[in-house]
Amino acid sequence: MFQKIKENIFYAGMNDCGRLFFDELIPLEKGTSYNSYIVIGSEKTAVIDTMYPKFTQEYLKSFDENGITKVDYIIANHGEQDHSGSIPALLEKFPNAIVVTNAVCAGNLKEMLLVPSEKIKIIKNDEELSLGNKTLQFKITPGVHWPDTMFTYIKEDNIISTCDFLGAHYTFDDVFAVPSKELEKSAKKYFAEIMMPFSSVCRKYIQLIKDLKVEMVLPSHGPIHKNPDYILDLYTDWAGEKGKNLVILPYVSMYNSTENMIDYLSNKLNEKGINTFKYDMVNGNLGDLAISLVDATTIIMGASMVLAGPHPAAFNTAYLASVLRPKAKVASFIGSYGWGGNLFGKLSELLAPLKLDIIEPIQVKGKAKSDDYIKLDNMAEEIYKKHKEFGLI
Ligand code: FEO
C-alpha cells in the first residue's frame, strides 16, 4: 500500500532488503529503498521520481492496487536509473503524462533511457508547476551528486523532495524516520560515499533548505524526515570544513611488521589524547573506512611491500580516499619490505589531489628496530603538534 505522508501526498517507493552493495562498492547492512512520491492536486497528479528498473513491474502494479488511474507529470529530480529507471514504463502506462525536469537531466534521460524530447518539459530554477490546489516549485541543485540534480518543493505543504541529498541506504516498515545510531551510521556512510566529494555544495543546499523552514524532507533513499533538523544538523557536521581529533590508520600487513608499527603508533597517539581508528584494508568493511574518512584530520597508511611496490590493497584505499575528497589535512606512510622497492611514491601521487601536509614516511626492512620506534615516536609528536595547531586538542 502507498503510505500517506500528508493530505494527497503518498509514499510509493519500495524496499530492496536483499541488496548487499551500492555501486558495487559500499556494503549495505540494511539494503536500501528507492523512494517515489505521488502528489495529487485538485486538477493534476504528479509522480516525483520513479523506481529502480528491477522493480518496475511491481511498481506499476502498485498504481493499480492503490487506484491511481491518471498521472499527468513525472518529475525527474535526477537522471540516475535507481530513480529514473521506470520512467519509460510509466510513460507507456500513462501515455498522456509528460516528464518534467531541468535541461541537464533531460539530456541524461534522452541518452540513458531514450525518453523522446516531445515527452519532456524543461523547467528553470524556481519555475512553478500547478497541480490545482498544490504547486510544485523546482530548485535546480547541481552537484548533489550529479550535475543534473534538483529538488522539488511542494509549496502549500512546505515539503521538499531532495532526491539523493539527505538520504540513507536504509529499509523500513514505517516510512517516517526514527532517529537511532543505526540510521545515523547508514546516513553517514551514504554521505561519505555519495555526498562527501561535494561537501561545499552540500553546505549551500543545507542552507537553502534551512531558509525554507520546511516541515518535511523527502529523500529518494531511506526514511522521510518529519524533523528536518535531525538530518540537516548531521549533514552540517559531516559537510563541515574542520575534521575531528581523529587519526585513521588503514593498513595491510603480510608478516605483522607493518601492523606492529601501526599498533605502536596508535597507542602513542592515544597516550597523547588523540583518537585513532585502525582499518584492515584486506578484511575490513569499506563502509567503516568511508565513515572514518568523514571525520579524520590525519591519515597514516601502513603497507607491506609486494614485489617492488606497495600492496595493491593500499592503492585501492589511497584511490578511494582521493576521490571521496575528505577534509583530512595531514598524511604519512609506514611500511615494511623484504628485499627492496619504493613503498610510498605511488601512494603519495594518488593522494596528491588532497593537497595533504605529508609527514616524513617510515619504511623499514623486516621488523622495526629501536631507531624506527624513535621515528614513530617523532611521527606521533608531529601529529600531536598539528592537531594542537588546528585547535583539536
Ligand atoms: Fe540514488 Fe544518484 O541515485
CA 220 to ligand 1: nearest atom: 1
**Rounded distance, CA 29 to CA 18, Å?**
10
Helix (H/G/I), strand (E/B), else coil: 331:
strand
pLDDT at position 29 is 85
Task: Say which residue the cell 583539536 belongs to.
Answer: 392
CA 164 to ligand 1: nearest atom: 1
DSSP letter, residue 315: H
Our answer on whether the CB atom of 220 is closer than 6 Å to any ligand 1 atom is yes
Cα 23 to middle of ligand 1, angstroms = 10
Model confidence pLDDT, tens digit, residues 128-173: 999 999 999 999 999 999 999 999 999 999 999 999 999 999 999 9
Residue nearest to atom 2 of ligand 1 (CA): 80
Fold classified for 3-238: Metallo-beta-lactamase; Chain A (3.60.15)
pLDDT at 23 over 90: no
Our answer on whether the CB atom of 49 is closer than 6 Å to any ligand 1 atom is no
**Rounded distance, CA 328 to CA 97, Å?**
47
pLDDT at position 113 is 97
pLDDT at position 1 is 72
pLDDT at position 21 is 86
pLDDT at position 95 is 97
Which amino acid would we find at residue 75?
Answer: I
Cα 221 to middle of ligand 1, angstroms = 8
- As to burial, measured by CB atoms within 10 angstroms (0-12 exposed, 13-18 middle, 19+ buried), residue 165 is buried
CA 149 to ligand 1: nearest atom: 2
Starting at the earlier edge strand, list the strands of the sheet with 98-101: 3-6, 9-11, 37-40, 45-48, 73-75, 98-101, 120-122
CA 146 to ligand 1: nearest atom: 2
Cα 261 to middle of ligand 1, angstroms = 40
Confidence grade of residue 368 (pLDDT, cut at 50, 70, 90): very high
Q: Nearest to residue 150, comparing CAs of 189, 191, 211, 104?
A: 104
295 bridge partner residues: none
Confidence grade of residue 300 (pLDDT, cut at 50, 70, 90): very high
**Rounded distance, CA 101 to CA 122, Å?**
5
pLDDT at position 318 is 96
Residue nearest to atom 3 of ligand 1 (CA): 80
Q: % helix / strand / coil in the chain, to the nearest 5?
A: 40, 25, 35
For the chain, where are the alpha helices, taking DSSP H only?
A: 56-65, 81-84, 87-93, 103-113, 181-190, 199-212, 228-238, 257-271, 286-295, 312-324, 345-351, 370-389
Our answer on whether the CB atom of 221 is closer than 6 Å to any ligand 1 atom is yes
**Rounded distance, CA 220 to CA 68, Å?**
20
Our answer on whether the CB atom of 162 is closer than 6 Å to any ligand 1 atom is no
Which amino acid would we find at residue 245?
Answer: N
Quick one: cell of 103? 535541461
**Rounded distance, CA 258 to CA 366, Å?**
9
Average pLDDT over residues 56-66: 97
pLDDT at 19 over 90: no
Total-model pTM: 0.95
CA 34 to ligand 1: nearest atom: 1
Every domain range in the chain assigned CATH 3.40.50.360: 247-386
Task: Determine the Cα angle at 21 with ends 58 and 253, to 5°.
Answer: 170
Task: Say which residue the cell 504547486 belongs to.
Answer: 135
Every domain range in the chain assigned CATH 3.60.15.10: 3-238
Average pLDDT over residues 292-317: 96
**Rounded distance, CA 31 to CA 34, Å?**
10
Cα 315 to middle of ligand 1, angstroms = 26
Model confidence pLDDT, tens digit, residues 192-231: 999 999 999 999 999 999 999 999 999 999 999 999 999 9
Quick one: cell of 370? 629501536
Quick one: cell of 236? 552540517
Average pLDDT over residues 97-111: 98
**Rounded distance, CA 206 to CA 235, Å?**
8
Cα 37 to middle of ligand 1, angstroms = 15
* Torsion sign across C-alpha atoms 335, 340, 345, 350: negative
What percentage of the chain reaches a pLDDT higher than 90?
Answer: 96
Our answer on whether the CB atom of 164 is closer than 6 Å to any ligand 1 atom is yes
> Which CATH architecture group holds 247-386?
3-Layer(aba) Sandwich (3.40)
Cα 164 to middle of ligand 1, angstroms = 5
Which amino acid would we find at residue 32?
Answer: T
- pLDDT mean across residues, the chain: 96
* Torsion sign across C-alpha atoms 293, 298, 303, 309: positive
Q: Nearest to residue 172, comparing CAs of 375, 291, 11?
A: 11
Model confidence pLDDT, tens digit, residues 224-258: 999 999 999 999 999 999 999 999 999 999 999 99
Helix (H/G/I), strand (E/B), else coil: 301:
strand
